Structure 1
Amino acid sequence: DNDNQKINLLIQSCVYSMFADQYSEVKICSQRLSILAVQIKNKSAKNIAAIYLIVGEVNLQDSSDVAHKKLSTL
């Protein structure tokens, strides 16, 4: 049905964004996936969204840490 197609597309967007090193997009897609999963009461999609949200946040933090360290050496 339509909600399952949306879930699949959001998961695919998370995966694509992750492999393209676009972690801000991973975070956005996972947030949207989480909202949809809660609305339609899909536990699996909610768990998947939580994992991608963590991946997006951790990698964004790592990137900012690297940038901060590089800037502090200047």
Structure 2
Amino acid sequence: MQEKFIELFKEALEIDGRAIELSDPFRDYDEWSSLGQLSLIAMLDEQFDVVIETTEFEKLTTVGDLLTAVSRKMTS
């Protein structure tokens, strides 16, 4: 699941040619924008059938935090 998530994450933010680490603060990426956030949220809904509300999303800081939130919602 982690590999698939990272590939889809990179696709949603249009990140090419660099590795993504779970410890990375995703808001620090040059590709991060409000449009990128919307793309990411839409991808989570479409690919994983997971909805993360804005207030919850704002509390997530790293790629790993986001993956953990998605995993929890998939199992609940």
User: TM-score, normalised to structure 2's length?
Assistant: 0.34
Normalized per residue, the structure richer in helix is: 1
Report 1 or 2 for greater relative contact order, CA contacts < 8 Å, sequence distance ≥ 6: 2
